[in-house]
Amino acid sequence: MLVLANDESTTVDSLPDAGPDLWVRTDQLPEATGWELKPEGACLDELCVPLLGDEKTEWVQEHRGAQWLKYSALADKVGQKYVHDDDVWSLGTVPHARHSTLGSGFAPDFEVTDRDGRAIRLSDLRGKKVLLVTWASW
């Protein structure tokens, strides 16, 4: 199974008979999604979602000696959008992570290559006026 998230693609094991849900082995969770299963719950940086009672029973399963998290249910709970087609899952940004960038008033840092092949980061231009022009052919 292929998971596309955070501008990365990660191949993860798939849980047999997962149905329409994305189940990720907890040891593959950080690399595939950025989330981590901790005693306090499922955590993404400083954001932790407690898994209690029925959620923990339904979302965390043992199978063949490994622990699995029903990631699609966690994504639904935090408002993360996702799409999938067979064995490829594409995960959107977690709204909480997106909100912290919007609240700061600063664009997220990124890197592009200029006409001469030099890498330029947005953060290199901090304090200067910057005009961003984007275009796509599709």
57-67 burial, b at 16+ Cβ within 10 Å, e below that, comes to eebeeeeeeee
**Number of other residues whose CB lies within 10 A of the CB of residue 34:** 16
pTM tops 0.85, yes or no: no
Q: What is the mean pLDDT of residues 23-39?
A: 93
Here the tokens at position 52 are: 């209690």
**Residue-level pLDDT at 133:** 83
Does residue 136 surpass a pLDDT of 90?
A: no
Of residues 104 and 38, which shows the higher confidence score? 38
Of residues 14 and 65, which shows the higher confidence score? 65
Taking the C-alpha atoms of residue 44 and residue 91, their distance in angstroms, rounded to an integer, is 14
CB 33 within 8 A of CB 24: yes
Of residues 90 and 110, which shows the higher confidence score? 90
Query: How do the domains of the chain map onto residue ranges?
Result: 2-100
CB 44 within 8 A of CB 34: yes
Query: Could you write out the DSSP letters of every residue in 47-69?
Result: EEE---HHHHHHHEEEETTEEEE
Question: Exposure of 121 by Cβ count < 10 A (0-12 exposed, 13-18 middle, 19+ buried)?
Answer: exposed
